[in-house]
């Protein structure tokens, strides 16, 4: 009787491959009385070893040909890819929220461009939603909402500046015609 170096299943002495896992069996048969497996030494690709047994521990007495599926020897875990969750916690921790600037700008434009403050209010709403999306780690949603907030700001600013220019020009003309000069 010899034992597979990969899965620990018992095989016939003449077996060239493991009946359980297909691993190539060593040519020399292991001693049948007190067989020793050395899976740790022979498998350098193993990533994580749970030290339930030492490498030199003799094979358990209850491992036999009929129990190949219930082998409870050393446990190996396959290499796992790095887990990437939906939340980009690195970006959130940095606090580099792109919507913050547009929230402030829309608040200021709400104040200054009161003729078009409904546009700025929409901008504030989308900037706040963009900040929330950023905090949740949804970068695409944050970007789309920030873009809308940005557009709202520029629309508000454009109309606000236009109305101020018209208002001031009208005021200057009115003042000049009424007083002749400013003083």
Partner 1 sequence: MTKRGKIAAAALGAAAVFAAISFLWVLKAYPQVIYDLPFDCVWLTYTGHYCAGCGITRAVHHALNGQFYAAWRMNPFLSVVLPLGGVLLVWEGTRRLRGRPSIGLKPWMGWAFLVALVLFTVLRNLPMPPFCYLAPTAVG
Nearer to partner 1, 84 or 96 (CB): 96
Residue with tokens 């580099």: 96
- Are 92 and 135 in contact by the 8 Å Cβ rule? The answer is yes
Whose Cβ is closer to partner 1: residue 7's or residue 133's?
133
Select from 133, 143, 145 the least CA-distant residue to 86. 133
- Shortest distance (Å) from residue 156 CB to partner 1: 12
Q: Which is nearer to partner 1, 55 or 128 (CB)?
A: 128
Number of other residues whose CB lies within 10 A of the CB of residue 155? 17
Residues that bind partner 1 (CB under 8 A): 94-98, 100-101, 103-105, 107-108, 110-112, 114-115, 117, 121, 124-125, 127-129, 131-132, 135, 161, 164, 167-168, 170-175, 178-179, 182
- Rounded to whole angstroms, how far apart are CA atoms 77 and 47? 7
Neighbours of 134 (CB within 10 A): 24
Compare residues 65 and 172 and give the one whose CB is closer to partner 1: 172
Q: Least CB distance from residue 181 to partner 1, whole Å? A: 11
Strand partners, 24: 17
3-class DSSP state of 49: strand
Q: Which residues, in sequence order, are bridge partners of residue 76?
A: 49
**Closer to partner 1 at the Cβ: 23 or 132?**
132
């Amino acid at each position: 009787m010899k034992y597979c170096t990969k899965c620990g299943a018992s095989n016939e002495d003449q077996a060239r491959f493991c009946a359980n896992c297909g691993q190539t069996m060593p040519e020399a048969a292991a001693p049948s009385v007190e067989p020793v497996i050395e899976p740790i030494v022979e498998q350098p690709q193993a990533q994580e070893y749970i030290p339930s047994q030492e490498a030199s521990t003799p094979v358990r007495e209850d491992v036999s040909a009929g129990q190949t599926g219930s082998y409870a020897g050393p446990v190996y875990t396959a290499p796992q890819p790095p887990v990437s969750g939906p939340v980009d916690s690195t970006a959130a921790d940095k606090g580099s929220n792109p919507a913050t600037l547009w929230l402030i700008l829309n608040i200021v434009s709400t104040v200054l461009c009161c003729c078009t403050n409904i546009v700025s209010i929409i901008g504030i709403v989308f900037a706040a939603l963009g900040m929330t999306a950023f905090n949740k780690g949804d970068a695409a949603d944050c970007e789309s909402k920030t873009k809308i907030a940005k557009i709202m700001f520029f629309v508000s600013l454009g109309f606000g500046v236009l109305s101020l220019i018209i208002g001031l020009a009208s005021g200057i003309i009115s003042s000049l015609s009424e007083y002749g000069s400013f003083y």
